[in-house]
């Protein structure tokens, strides 16, 4: 069974994603799902590593866990937004807190959208594809 329809075809193959997630199981599931769609996927286990990898790499999108060690997703997003020059990388929050107040906090930190945990993979792919098609 297909994970999601392929609205972008070949132009989305090779999309570079940086995934910030400290849970190894979630990282593995996301990697399997996204690599099946021919996306290039790198992982960071904490917010400080996300910022470091973002500085060094050329990513098309970041999936950002909100609760991580060392530096949380809110702090990492703010750091990226403060350092961006030119373009703005889409950042999608992944959070177990799905209340309106939590969603507002994600947007206020500079994130562009959010996905509730446990992750609905169809929704995740649709959001990633939506931002990818805008690039």
The pLDDT-based confidence of 101 (bands split at 50, 70, 90) is confident
Of 56 and 133, the one with more pLDDT: 56
Q: Is 50 exceeded by the pLDDT of residue 76?
A: yes
Taken in order of first residue, the domains within the chain and their CATH numbers are 14-132 (3.40.50.2300)
What percentage of the chain reaches a pLDDT higher than 70? 90
Give the pLDDT of residue 12. Answer: 67
Distance CA 92, CA 106 (A): 9
3-state helix/strand/coil string of 56-92: HCCCCEEEEECCCCCCCHHHHHHHHHHHCCCCCCCEE
Q: Return the closest-CA partner of residue 94 out of 69, 70, 71, 121.
A: 121
Question: Cβ(91)–Cβ(44) under 8 Å?
Answer: no
């Amino acid at each position: 069974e297909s994970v999601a329809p392929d609205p972008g075809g070949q132009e989305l193959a090779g999309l570079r994603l940086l995934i910030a997630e400290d849970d190894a199981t979630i990282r593995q599931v996301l990697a399997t799902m996204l690599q099946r769609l021919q996306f290039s996927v790198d992982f960071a286990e904490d917010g400080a590593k996300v910022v470091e990898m973002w500085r060094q790499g050329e990513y098309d999108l970041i999936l950002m866990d909100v609760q991580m060690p060392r530096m949380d997703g809110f702090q990492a997003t703010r750091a990226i937004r403060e350092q961006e020059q030119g373009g703005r990388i889409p950042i999608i929050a992944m959070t177990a807190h799905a209340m309106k107040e939590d969603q507002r906090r994600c947007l206020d930190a500079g994130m562009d959208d959010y996905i509730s945990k446990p992750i609905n993979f169809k929704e995740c792919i649709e959001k990633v594809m939506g931002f990818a098609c805008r690039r």
